[in-house]
Amino acid sequence: MSKVSVVVLFAFSVSVASALNCTWSKTTNKSLSTVADNMSEDWKNAQSVYNFTVKDIKGEDVSMEKYKGFVLIIVNVASKCGYTSKHYKELVELDEKYRDKGLRILAFPSNQFGGQEPGDAENICNFAAKQNVKFDMFEKVNVNGNDAHPLWKYLKSKQGGLLIDSIKWNFTKFIVDKNGQPVERHAANVSPLGMEKNLEKYL
């Protein structure tokens, strides 16, 4: 009797939610962002974005040195804004097109504009997963005011806005070059694909 070899193939499905690590353990703190532990950073003396530490969407510390040598888009996001659908879609497109060429997108949820990011970290992460996001998501922060995250104070000081330096709305985008220097700032009414040619200069 001849031997019959049976090969069993298993298909594993990896969801975008897993890529974003949206599964919280019982010990994970899901509270909304506070920046008290970051306020001691002397952002005025920072030489680049690499001098800062941020917290990811699960509240874990991330040194910005992780992004040395990459071109960055740093953007404040919201899930209930009129710009949400188009901006998330186009940010995902840029990420997919340029990730292998050295682009990294860093998204910081903020609830400072019309209360349009009201959820906790897990809600935000799950929403982003539904938008097919694979880029890095961070904790909810304030981007304006005395309690703004030091990184955002630094970004605004290096690339001021029209009339005032404050962030004016959701989806303000900063381009940071491979040396960690903020080189461009684009307002909410500029779509991510609308700044593609500018972005290509730095890749």
Beta bridge partners of 12: none
Name the active-site residue from 54, 73, 81, 167. Answer: 81
Q: What is the Cα Rg of the chain in Å?
A: 19
Q: Are strands 182-186 and 53-55 parallel, antiparallel or unpaired?
A: unpaired
| 81 carries an active-site annotation | yes
CA torsion sign, 32 to 35 to 38 to 42?
Answer: positive
Residue 120: Cβ within 10 Å count = 14
* Pair of tokens at residue 164: 């005032």
119 secondary structure, DSSP code: S
CB-CB contact of 155 with 182 (8 Å): yes
- Residues serving a catalytic function are 81
